[in-house]
Amino acid sequence: MTIEQLIYLFSPYLKADEKMLSDFKTYTDELLAWNKKTNITGITGEYEIYKNHFLDSLSILPLINPEGNLLDVGTGGGFPGLVLRIVCPNLKVTVMDSVAKKVVFLDHIIEKLKLTGAEAKWGRAEEFGRDPAFREQYDVVTARAVATMPVLAEFCLPFVKVGGLFIAQKGRDAKEIKNAEKVIEILGGKLEDIRKVKLPGDDSDRNIAVVRKIRNITQEYPRKPGIPEKRPIKAK
Which C-beta is closer to ligand SAM: that of 47 or that of 67? 47
27-46 residues near ligand SAM, rule: CB under 6 A: 41
CB of 15 to ligand SAM, least distance (A): 25
Query: By rule CB under 6 A, what count of residues binds ligand SAM?
Result: 19
- As measured in angstroms, the least distance from the Cβ of 231 to ligand SAM is 14
In whole angstroms, how close is the CB of 230 to ligand SAM at the nearest point? 12
Stretch that binds ligand SAM, among 25-33, 83-91, 120-128, 196-204 (CB under 6 A): 120-128
- In the window 135-174, what residues touch ligand SAM (CB under 6 A)? 144-146, 155
- What type of residue is 229? E
Per CB under 6 A, contacts with ligand SAM among 89-108 are 96-99, 102
> Among residues 190 and 205, whose Cβ is nearest to ligand SAM?
205
Instruction: Assess 124 for contact with ligand SAM (CB under 6 A).
Output: yes
Of 23, 59, 76, 206, which lies in the binding site for ligand SAM, with binding defined by CB under 6 A?
Answer: 76
What minimum distance in Å lies between the beta carbon of 17 and ligand SAM?
A: 25
Give the side-chain half-sphere CA count within 13 A for 168.
31
What are the residues binding ligand SAM (CB under 6 A)?
41, 73-77, 79, 96-99, 102, 124-126, 144-146, 155
